Structure formats: structure tokens, C-alpha cells
Amino acid sequence: MALKATIFKAELSVADIDRGYYADHSLTIARHPSETDQRMMVRLLAFALLADERLEFGRGLSSEDEPDLVQRDLTGAVERWIDVGLPDERDVRKACGRAQEVDVFAYGGRAVDLWWEAVRGKLEGQARLAVHEVPPEAAMALAAMASRNMRLQVTIQDGHLSITDHDQAFGTELRLLKGRS
């Protein structure tokens, strides 16, 4: 018998001073049985960083050729494709052909450096691609905030992120490995 996804609810308040975006989002997140709290929370962080009224969680781990998050225009065309983790470079290049903008939020400490070293030459020429690294301590702090019902506040100012819930707070900055050209 196949295991079912675990459902998480998040009340996410985003104050992105850098973009002038301020909104509250009521989110339902399905965590695949093989997905860790850390990966799920990095997906939630990616949502907060790129929040938009049309941004939504994709089918993720349960479906190949699907982004972790996707933003579509009113015609259904993919405006933004977002992957979390260390995706295969062929999948990233394919996503760059399907979306106006592609973002990868890599996490995993030293594994990120090894992955980027292996794929950098093949992805550097992708003008639509941005690759961000989530620091290991931030990914661990996010995982510690995971609960079935979450209330999170994310403030972004001058590239610095402050994330708080009812018990904990931490700040971090992502490292930009590759920006869009």
C-alpha cells in the first residue's frame, strides 16, 4: 500500500521591502512521504522569496518534469519555474526552454559546491536561470520550524531574510551562485 502525502498548513506573512510586496498567504503543503522537513521548508522559503498571487506549489517529487513551485500567466503559460535541491542539469535546461524565468534554490552544504562545480559549465549560458544557495544553518533552522500548522513571518530587506514563528527566529542571506543575464 502506497504511503500518502502528509498535509501541512502554513499562514505565511511576507514583507518583502526589496520588492515592495506585502501579503498574507494561507498555504496547504503536501509533503511527499520521501520528502524531508528540510526540503519542504526550503520550498516554503522559495515561496516567500518569490511570493506572488499566482505562485503555487507544483506536484514536486511525485511527478517528473514538474517544478516544485510554478507561476503561470493568465493563459496558463509558465512564467516562473522553481526547483529546490540539486536538480539534474538537463532538467534545468529543459525548464529554461519552457519558462520565462527559472530559479533553483540549492541546499545541502558541501553537496551544493560539488553539484555547482559539476553543472556550472552547462548552466552558465542559460540567460533565464538564477541559482541561489540556502546556507546549511538556515535549512536546519527552517526544518526545526516545521509543524502541521505553522504561522511564519518572513521579512526581506537589502537581501537579508528574517524568519520567525511563535517560538523561534533567525536571519540569513542566500548566496547567489548565478544571476539572470
Q: How far apart are CA 180 and CA 124, in angstroms?
A: 9
pLDDT at position 1 is 52
Domain-wise residue ranges, the chain: 6-178
If DSSP codes are grouped into helix, strand and coil, which group holds residue 127? coil
Question: pLDDT tens for residues 69-113?
Answer: 999 999 999 999 999 999 999 999 999 999 999 999 999 999 999
What is the grid cell recorded at 179?
544571476
- What is the architecture, at CATH level 2, of domain 6-178? Roll (3.10)
Cα distances (angstroms) measured from residue 142 to each of 65, 111, 117, 165 = 26, 18, 26, 10
Task: Tell me the residue length of the chain.
Answer: 181
**What is the C-alpha to C-alpha distance for residues 112 and 136, in angstroms, rounded to an integer?**
10
Name the pLDDT band for 65 (thresholds 50, 70, 90): confident
Residue 54 has pLDDT above 70, yes or no: yes
The CA distance from 43 to 38, in Å, is 9
